[in-house]
Amino acid sequence: MNPTAATVPTIDNQLVNGWISKSNLALIAQRTGTPVFVYSEAQLVKNVQRIKDAVQAAGLENRVEFYVPFFPNSNPHILKPLEQFGIGLLLQLPSEYELLRRHGFSKFIVSTGHLSDDDISFWAETGYPMFLSSLDEIEYLLRNHSQASINVRFDSLSSGKPGIKYNELKMLSDLLKKYDRELDCFELYCGSGNTVDNMISIIEQVFMIFRTYFPNAKAINFAGGFGFDYQEKNEYKKHFEWSKYLAKLCENAERYNIPPHVKFLFEPARDLLGDIGALLLSIERSMIKHPGANRVLTNGSRVLIPSAQYKERRHNVIFLDSTMTEIKAQNVPAALRGRGILRHDYVLPGDYMVPECIGAGDYMLILDVGAYCATQHMEFLNIPPAAEVLIDREGSVYLITEHGGKFDKWRHLLPNRKELSNLVEEESAVQEVSK
How would DSSP label each residue in 271-308? Answer: HHHGGGEEEEEEB-SSPEEETTEEEEEBS--GGGSHHH
Which one of 271, 304, 319 terminates a domain?
Answer: 271
pLDDT at 157: 67
Q: CA 241, CA 198: separation in Å to the nearest integer?
A: 12
pLDDT at 145: 97
Tell me if 423 is assigned to some domain.
Answer: no
Q: CA 267, CA 88: separation in Å to the nearest integer?
A: 9
Contact in structure between 296 and 358 (CB atoms under 8 Å): yes
pLDDT at 435: 61
Q: Where are the beta strands (DSSP E) in 106-182?
A: 108-111, 130-132, 151-155
Q: Where are the beta strands (DSSP E) in 285-408?
A: 288-290, 293-297, 317-320, 331-337, 346-355, 363-367, 387-391, 397-401
Q: How far apart are the first and last CA of the chain?
A: 68
Which one of 271, 294, 327 terminates a domain?
Answer: 271
Q: Which residues contact 261 (CB under 8 A, 6 or more apart)?
A: 218
Q: Consecutive sets of 10 residues in the chain, 435 residues long: mean pLDDT of each? A: 36 65 94 98 98 97 97 97 97 98 98 95 97 97 96 82 91 96 93 91 94 96 95 93 97 97 97 97 96 95 92 94 96 97 94 97 97 93 96 97 95 92 72 65
Q: CA 198, CA 161: separation in Å to the nearest integer?
A: 19
Q: Which amino acid is at 31?
A: R
212 and 334 together in one domain: no
pLDDT at 11: 45
228 and 159 together in one domain: yes
Picking from 326, 231, 229, the residue whose alpha carbon sits closest to that of residue 271 is 229
pLDDT at 190: 82
CATH number at residue 25: 2.40.37.10
139 and 284 together in one domain: no
Structural domain of 86? 41-271
Contact in structure between 319 and 14 (CB atoms under 8 Å): no
Q: Which amino acid is at 261?
A: H
Which one of 271, 293, 316 terminates a domain?
Answer: 271
Q: What residues are paired with 352 via a beta bridge?
A: 334
Contact in structure between 384 and 408 (CB atoms under 8 Å): yes
Is the Cα torsion angle 96, 76, 234, 372 positive or negative in sign?
Answer: negative
167 and 230 together in one domain: yes
| Number of domains the chain contains | 2
116 and 263 together in one domain: yes
233 and 159 together in one domain: yes
Estimate the crossing angle of helix 41-57 against helix 242-255, to 10 degrees. Answer: 30
Within 13 Å and on the Cβ side, how many CA atoms surround 191? 12
Picking from 299, 318, 307, 52, the residue whose alpha carbon sits closest to that of residue 193 is 307
Main-chain phi, psi angles of 84, to 5 degrees: -65, -20
Number of Cβ within a 10 Å radius of residue 216? 11
26 and 79 together in one domain: no
280 and 372 together in one domain: yes
Tell me if 168 is assigned to some domain.
Answer: yes
pTM assigned to the model: 0.92
Q: CA 83, CA 89: separation in Å to the nearest integer?
A: 9
